[in-house]
Amino acid sequence: MIGSNYLIRGETFVFPDKSDISQVFVSDNEINEKYKKGEIRIVTEQARYPLDSIETMLDSKKYILNPEYQRRKRWDNTRKSRLIESFIMNVPIPPIFLYEVDYSIYEVMDGLQRLTAIYDFYKGKFNLEGLEYWQELNGRNYNNLPEQVKRGIDRRYLSSIVLLQETAKSTEEADFLKQIVFERLNSGGEKLTPQETRNALHNGRFNQLCIKLSKNSYFRQMWKLPLESEGEEKLLESESYRKMEDVELVLRFFAYRHIANFKSPVDKFLDDYLKQANNYPDETIKNLENLFNETIDLVYSIFGSDAFIPPKEKRDNKTPIKTIYDPMMQAVANNISYKDTLLKHSQAIQSSLYSNKDLL
């Protein structure tokens, strides 16, 4: 159990009590007035882009592909190839959604996977594979396609819906509206993971800290994740990385320091903690960053790269598990002031922990 003695200055969390929320009654006249004022009204325009122009568009740097609320890339080459096959067959493709953050500067709100697939195709970064109806094109890339097929793809269009800059009157309102649209756009189709939703709807300084800390090399080694230095292609081979599960693991460490306030479900607990932690003072965020890094370093020094894996008898596939990670991280963090003593007795700690098989 985590007590207040282990918390640092400014690190607070109270699970919100919503039992006293009552229905707000508003008259029809007030509702009509709100509508006339244009509160929460999206201003849009539509556009169409020839596929062979997308490479130049993205190279222009006028399109921001990774706004903070976007998910990480997920598509493999087969899925990219089937998008191209859809264009060959002239299958209708849903529009992408852009937000105009400045005149002629756009954030990609929805459609990142489609845009980057088209871009990579024209750059010759992958060969077509897994095609269902044009199997004879498997193994080809844009440069060596038959001329007629290439021209057919070039004349296809990708539609877009652009949320114009005048939609919002301030940066805060813009962030709010973008999050609303992102949430509604992703209510269907490929379901977002809880952390992807969290990243979109509750982004802030603490969320960005969790993303930063997920790049800790010892943390990634202990969770059997590719290192940031190995490059994006290697990172995207990891399903956990693509789904932002690494970021959620960092968030769990901080949230579980307040386990006394825990209420199920876990996802709701993490949501509410993140929303409050985004408002922590700068000094508190910096101290928590140091605490995480020191804890990870100490865990790695004592237990090595297999720290979160059960003993040999129970680790058939050597997969790290949360039921070891969560309590181990809390125990070490709560005793970080005894770092030198813990390192001195690291072998005894390992033997004591792994000899009690009932705990693992």
pLDDT tens figures, 251-266: 999 999 999 888 889 9
* Least-confidence region, from 46-50, 97-101, 117-121, 310-314: 310-314
Measured CA to CA, the distance from residue 292 to residue 298 in angstroms comes to: 10
The CA–CA distances, whole Å, from 296 to 137, 292, 303, 342 equal 48, 6, 10, 14
- Give the helix, strand, coil percentages of the chain, each rounded to 5: 55, 10, 35
Query: Domain-by-domain residue ranges, the chain?
Result: 40-189, 192-360
Tokens of 185: 């756009």
Q: What percent of the chain has pLDDT over 90?
A: 51
Quick: pLDDT tens for 39-98: 556 677 898 999 999 999 999 989 988 766 566 777 889 999 999 999 999 999 999 988
Is residue 133 over pLDDT 90?
yes
Q: What is the DSSP string of 96-158?
A: EEEEEEETTEEEEEE-HHHHHHHHHHHTT-S---S-SS-GGGTT--GGGS-HHHHHHHHT-EE
**Spatial CA neighbour of 109 closest among 174, 159, 64:** 64
Quick: pLDDT tens for 2-39: 444 588 888 888 766 554 444 556 676 766 666 566 55
